[in-house]
Chains A and B, each alone.
Chain A
């Protein structure tokens, strides 16, 4: 698929359309090795994820799960292959356009939440709204925190929150831009059993009721009851490895 030339990238198509949310073809990504050569981190021949689908990405450590999410978020450019998100090709898109596309259309729940420790819970969500181009960010942020049951912790710094609360604030932040695609990297890893179950239920609700497409890198796919599972293996090839 040809690269999008417009400086204002199109938004991903809604769940009601028939086109898939994600289409990947021949995606490869390698990292330079400290000693020279390259380490192949991701090799994906083909992947199609329909809209309003919960897709679990599984695989051992080092199989490229996080790399795949970074590629889908536009944080990493693949060395080869094409990536289409909601009908919009990320290939060849300028970096500033990728940033804008991500800010407005993609939610990313980082591993461990990764809130900005210098900002309060509410300000973390407000920051996401700001970069998404939303105005009157405080009421919206407060509403999101209320929906996720952590409004009472709005003024607290992340260091004062429990693991579950941090994860909920992080989820509120990743949903702030009302994304069509939500990426989550090991969201259940830092939670206890009860918290993990609650979050899995919440994910299910988001997919079913809001038509969100969810791609989750996880070692616990059974908790999520995913619509599809993508299993990644460690790439066997080592280009130029010494």
Chain B
């Protein structure tokens, strides 16, 4: 006989009651963990996607369809961008990598993406199980995604034909030879075939040249000059990114900043995200109250048993141990169950992100913020679970023995203590909402030494020989989440950009958050209100930047001076 055995008997004697409690904990905590983990994974996936190709160029369809069509395949893109642009960009010193894309073709129902071999880089992301990647300019080679290879029952050395986008068009027999098969990547690539642009151009050339005695039409001939659907670009650095964007826009092309566009999509979904977080907060609250009610119900029954233990000679701390252990067993079961529930939800969400949004997200409950939430949730639940143990400690055995059945530990003090435990719960939910809303970087904080050094480096990189006094941050008052700088030549600007740079991720164009383009800047100064017109703008004072309630950066204009040279 041990105290743990008595605790176990207390739990199992009301197995259904405690089982339901553990289930409720599992569902509540599991839902919370899954929500956090999926959010983290989706954000990481977006960042990863944006990091590979910060710029996307294509036809004038708007940045969102362009990015979705180019990076996820969720949107059909017409071939409308001259192939010559690819050549120009390849020769541009500001460009590190250029990958053209031409969609709209298929092989027996599987998408065929014409691109360059660079698309299948890095190799860790697109590992091969057999063969090699098609060579640049090879018009007769194709690489198969894992699912496509399995579905088509094809391997290296086999041949496939290309379907054009017109009804009844027969495949071009033996047009492409399989030279490689990719390993499963758990992304849209698994169901895709990859070939060089040249393969499609040759195919169209032969299709247009072939005998037209048959009854189908070529609904999608590629006109001359050759076109591509879109172009993925990786600039050498941030400055190159922005100047490239400007140049390409001047050429009448749609240019999308991948990170910005994806974040815009995320912002549009933010309303739903906030609602989800509120719902999760509600679930946590209900879970907590459920545990309170469960322990309250248990205490009604346990009160007399605790009194009997005291009669048998159990000390107060011993009965505390018994009751606390019984409650913790339920909480522990709920925690373990939450990992199972969270894993199941995460697994489902992973598939949805991959299939519906084209995001290659690896959802894990053991990384990112999820362990923090698990720890916080368990702490709150343990606090709730400790409550009946405290009630047991304060139980007057003599009173409980003579009290009516069912009155047990249920005293006014029980409810009073319960209310006290609601405080940390509310704090936890509030913190959860804040972290979810702003991220751990989002809270205002003073500029520290590390941030100052980063800022100095970034400023020097951005502005070159900009005088020290040109842009400065007041370290004593700056409570920002990023830095501010102006772009231009160096300060003769057509437009004035404010970009927030995450200090944790220096010199990364995807770390820009909520870029804001200001067409007009009104400056309040002792001399009155001035409008900063395009022209020479020289900033000589101090800046402070703070996020407003919409998380947009707001410049405190009255804290810096702008001198407009007439």
Contact = CB atoms under 8 A, between A and B. Distances in A.
- A-B complex is real: yes
Given A96-B315, A99-B313, A127-B1, A116 B308 contact: yes
A104 B401 contact: no
A203 interface: no
B314 to A, nearest CB: 5
Contacts of B311: 73, 75, 102, 108, 110
A117 B305 CA distance: 8
Contacts of B9: 116, 118-119, 123
Contact of B308 (A66, A99, A100, A110): A110
B305 A103 contact: no
Contacts of A114: 304, 308, 401
A104 B309 contact: no
B312 interface: yes
Contacts of A67: 398
B476 interface: no
A127 B312 contact: yes
A127 B309 CA distance: 8
A127 B10 CA distance: 13
A228 interface: no
B310 A104 contact: no
A128 interface: yes
Interface residues of B, number: 24
B107 interface: no
B310 A99 contact: yes
Interface string A122-145: 010011111110000110000000
Interface string A82-119: 00000000000001100110111000101100111111
Given A75-B397, A110-B401, A118-B13, A127 B6 contact: yes
Interface residues of A, number: 34
Given A66-B402, A127-B6, A117 B312 contact: no
Contact of A131 (B10, B312, B397): B312
A118 B305 contact: yes
B1 A137 contact: yes
Contacts of A219: none
Interface string A191-227: 0000000000000000000000000000000000000
Q: Which of B1, B2, B9, B318 has the most chain A CB atoms inside 10 A of its CB?
A: B1
Interface in B379-434: 397-398, 401-402
Interface in B299-356: 304-305, 308-316, 318
Nearest to A125: B1
Nearest to B7: A118
A173 interface: yes
Q: 6 closest Cβ contacts across the A-B interface?
A: A103-B313, A118-B13, A131-B313, A126-B1, A70-B398, A118-B9
29 contacts: A66-B401, A66-B402, A75-B398, A76-B398, A96-B315, A96-B316, A99-B310, A102-B313, A103-B314, A110-B308, A111-B401, A114-B304, A116-B305, A116-B308, A117-B305, A118-B9, A118-B10, A118-B12, A118-B305, A119-B6, A119-B9, A123-B1, A123-B5, A127-B309, A128-B312, A130-B2, A131-B314, A131-B318, A137-B1
